[in-house]
Amino acid sequence: MQLSLIDSDEYDYLFFVTNTERPSEKVFISYEKRGNVENYIKEAKYDVAVGHHSLKSFWANEAVFQMMMLLYNLFLLFKFDFLGIQNSDSKSRHFV
C-alpha cells in the first residue's frame, strides 16, 4: 500500500527528489522510462517465468535463459507493433 500526501480526484501529484540540474520535464521522462524498464523486468520474471528453471549445466541454463529472453522480446515486438499497445500496464498473460 502506498500512502498519499495529497488527496485529489482532479490531479495526480508526483514528487521526485534528485540532485541533478536537469529541467523537471527531463527528470520526469527519465524516471518514467526507468519505471517502464522495471515493469518489463517484472513481466519477464513472472509472466514468462524467466529465471524459474534449474538445469545441471550452467551453459544449458544460459541457453534456456537466452531463448526465453528472445521469446519475450518477440512478444513485446508483437504487442507494440501489431496490437498497438504502447503502455506497460497490460500483462503478457492476457495475450498468451
Long-range contacts, stretch 37-40, CB < 8 angstroms, 24+ apart: 39/88, 39/89, 40/76, 40/88
Kindly state the DSSP code that residue 95 receives in the 8-state scheme: T
Res 65: pLDDT: 84
Among all chains, which residue has been given the C-alpha cell 515486438? 77
Residue-wise pLDDT for 21-72, tens only, equals 888 888 888 877 777 778 777 877 777 777 677 788 889 888 888 888 888 8
- Measured CA to CA, the distance from residue 62 to residue 46 in angstroms comes to 18
Q: Which pLDDT value is given to residue 37?
A: 77
